[in-house]
Structures are given as structure tokens and as C-alpha cells.
């Protein structure tokens, strides 16, 4: 039941939200979709509750923070768009850099928890992600309406904020690069060597979706649009209409993962050659 709600949430993000180019409209729609998903999850918890403690921990550690993190992210993104100076590149640059410094302070304040999560520890999960300790964690005012005793643990909101801040860093860096394109190296000091994708774009989309589904990039925090942008930058390619391409991949007759299967065969062949 929870998995279906999260699947539908990601579908709406990819097909309705990320395709909107205008930041304020994207933020407003993202807030709407995330809020609707959280309301639906809360109703499911009220109706069904959890079978056991491990399921409760999984929900508050891995499921609820996903739409909550997007709610926080789009709220922060909307606030930035409304508060940023309307004119003057230097004023806007200072504004975005100040926002980045705020994020750094947030991570410094919560470094121990962030390390706990990023190193994938579990020994405090019962304290952090079950509802018995919920009352000990302070909630920011803008999110009070999601602070229900039966729908909150002590740290699920903090974990959602961490994920949201990672996304906000990408948003702010992109904004700075747009304002100062000649200073891109300042924000991306480890510039990679030029790599050109010489295969088909459909094959690259198949690879991107496979990595996105694996949730092995940025601890599963990267959204699809960020992942696509990273591949476009790294391989110097423009991927237009990825949702249409993905639909065509899903509609294939026979094997739908041709490129991934080809990779497996070639790697197996290379390993056999090396061993020979």
C-alpha cells in the first residue's frame, strides 16, 4: 500500500512537476503533489497502522521522508525565488551564497545525525524512527500541520530536511552558474575530462533509469531531472524527451532492457578473456 503511494508520487513528479521550466510554478505544483501524498500516507497509517516495529522504522526512515523532503525542498525553493533580489547580478549572487552558508550551518548543527544516516547505521533506529520518542524533537513552524503524534517519529522530519537541503544545494549552485557562467569552475572545482557519449541516446536513457531505480546515487536522494542533467553534462549530450523515450522502452516487445543485457554479456566476455 505504501509502495503504491510512493510510486504514484514519483510518477507525478516526473510527468507533472519536473517538466515545468518556470521555478515558481514548479515549486507550487511540487508542494501540491507532495502535500497530497503526505495526506494519503497519513490516512493509510491511520487505517492500517504497522504490522511490527521493523515496518514502522522502515516507513519513518525510508518512505515518509521522501515526499516530506520534496515538500521542504519546494517550499524553500519557492521562498528563495520570492525573496531573491529582482535586479542586479551582484545582489542576486550574494543572496544565493548567503543561502548556501545557511545550509552549511544546518549540516554543521546536525553533523552527527547526518553521519549516522550516511554511514547506514541502524543501532539508534528504534529511538529515531518509532513514534514513542516523537515528542522530543522540535518541529519548524511551517511544518506544524504534519506534526501528528501517530504520523511522526523523533527524526523522520530531520532526515527529510537533510535530503531537502541536498537538493537545495543543487538548485542554488545552478542559479549561481546561470548568473556567473564564466565562474563555473569556482562551483565545480573538480572538472572532469571531456567524455562523449557515442552510443544511442535510447541506450543512455535506459542506463539512467536503471541507476535511478537502483537508488544507489546520493543515497537515493537524486531526483531524475538532476540525474539526467549530470549525465548530459558529463557526456556532452542533450537528452530531449526522456519520458517519451522511457515510454518507448517500456513498450518494447520481448526484452525491454536490451542495453543493460548487452553490458552484462560484454563484461562477462571480457572477464573470461582476462582469465584466459
Tens-digit pLDDT profile for residues 60-76: 998 999 999 999 999 99
Query: Three-class SS of residue 183?
Result: helix
Q: What are phi and psi of 179, to 5 degrees?
A: -75, -35
Q: Cα 88 from chain centroid?
A: 31
What pLDDT score was predicted for residue 264? Answer: 93
Share of the chain above pLDDT 70, in %: 87
**Contact between 212 and 132 (Cβ < 8 Å):** no
DSSP 107: H
pLDDT at residue 77, as a whole number: 93
Terminal-to-terminal C-alpha distance of the chain? 50
3-state secondary structure of 91: helix
List Cβ neighbours of 70 (8 Å cut-off, separation of 6 or more). 13, 30, 33, 34, 164, 167
Q: Which residues contact 12 (CB under 8 A, 6 or more apart)?
A: 33
Average pLDDT over the chain reads 84
What mean pLDDT is predicted for residues 185-202?
A: 62
Quote the pLDDT of residue 146.
Answer: 52
pLDDT score of 186: 44
CA angle in degrees (0–180, nearest 5) for 114-75-144? 75
Q: Are 65 and 159 in contact (CB under 8 A)?
A: yes
Give the number of C-alpha atoms closer than 13 A to the C-alpha of residue 273, restricted to the C-beta side: 6
Helices 65-83 + 2-12 axis angle, to 10: 30
C-alpha cell at 149: 503524534
Nearest Cα to 75, choosing from 134, 124, 140?
A: 140
Q: Quick one: average pLDDT of 122-126?
A: 91
Place of cell 523522520: 156
Q: How far apart are CA 105 and CA 99, in angstroms?
A: 10
User: 155 with 149: CB under 8 angstroms?
Assistant: no
Backbone phi and psi for residue 197, each to the nearest 5 degrees, phi listed first: -80, 115
The answer to whether residue 143 scores a pLDDT higher than 60 is no
Lowest mean pLDDT among 43-57, 115-129, 217-231: 217-231
Out of 26-40, 145-159, 187-201, which region has the weakest mean confidence (pLDDT)? 187-201
Q: Report residue 21: phi and psi, to 5°.
A: -80, -30
Which SS3 state, helix, strand or coil, does residue 69 take?
helix
How high is the pLDDT of residue 206?
Answer: 93
For residue 133, name the pLDDT band (cuts at 50, 70, 90): low
**In the predicted structure, residue 153 carries a pLDDT above the cut 90:** no
Provide the pLDDT for residue 193: 54
pLDDT for residue 88: 86
Cell of 230: 549530470
Band (257; pLDDT cuts 50, 70, 90): very high
Amino acid at each position: 500500500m505504501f509502495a503504491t503511494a510512493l510510486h504514484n508520487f514519483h510518477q507525478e513528479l516526473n510527468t507533472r512537476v519536473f517538466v515545468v521550466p518556470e521555478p515558481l510554478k514548479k515549486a507550487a505544483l511540487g508542494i501540491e503533489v507532495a502535500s497530497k501524498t503526505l495526506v494519503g500516507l497519513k490516512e493509510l497509517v491511520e487505517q492500517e497502522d504497522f504490522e511490527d516495529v521493523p515496518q514502522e522504522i522502515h516507513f519513518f526512515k525510508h518512505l515518509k521522508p521522501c515526499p516530506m523532503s520534496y515538500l521542504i525542498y519546494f517550499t524553500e525553493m519557492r521562498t528563495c525565488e520570492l525573496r531573491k533580489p529582482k535586479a542586479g547580478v551582484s545582489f542576486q549572487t550574494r543572496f544565493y551564497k548567503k543561502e548556501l552558508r545557511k545550509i552549511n550551518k544546518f549540516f554543521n548543527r546536525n553533523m552527527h545525525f547526518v553521519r549516522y544516516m550516511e554511514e547506514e547505521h541502524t543501532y539508534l533506529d528504534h529511538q529515531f524512527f518509532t513514534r514513542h520518542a516523537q515528542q522530543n524533537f522540535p518541529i519548524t513552524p511551517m511544518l506544524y500541520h504534519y506534526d501528528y503524534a501517530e504520523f511522526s517519529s523523533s527524526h523522520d522530519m530531520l532526515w527529510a530536511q537533510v535530503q531537502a537541503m541536498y537538493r537545495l544545494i543543487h538548485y542554488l549552485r545552478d542559479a549561481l552558474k546561470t548568473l556567473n557562467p564564466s565562474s563555473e569552475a569556482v562551483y565545480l572545482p573538480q572538472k572532469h575530462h571531456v567524455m562523449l557519449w557515442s552510443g544511442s541516446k535510447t541506450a543512455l536513457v535506459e542506463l539512467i533509469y536503471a541507476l535511478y531505480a537502483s537508488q544507489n546515487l546520493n543515497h537515493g536522494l537524486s531526483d531524475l531531472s538532476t540525474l539526467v542533467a549530470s549525465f548530459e553534462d558529463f557526456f556532452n549530450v542533450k537528452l530531449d524527451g526522456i519520458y517519451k523515450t522511457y515510454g518507448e522502452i517500456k513498450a518494447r516487445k520481448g526484452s525491454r532492457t536490451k542495453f543493460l543485457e548487452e553490458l552484462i554479456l560484454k563484461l562477462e566476455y571480457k572477464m573470461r578473456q582476462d582469465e584466459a
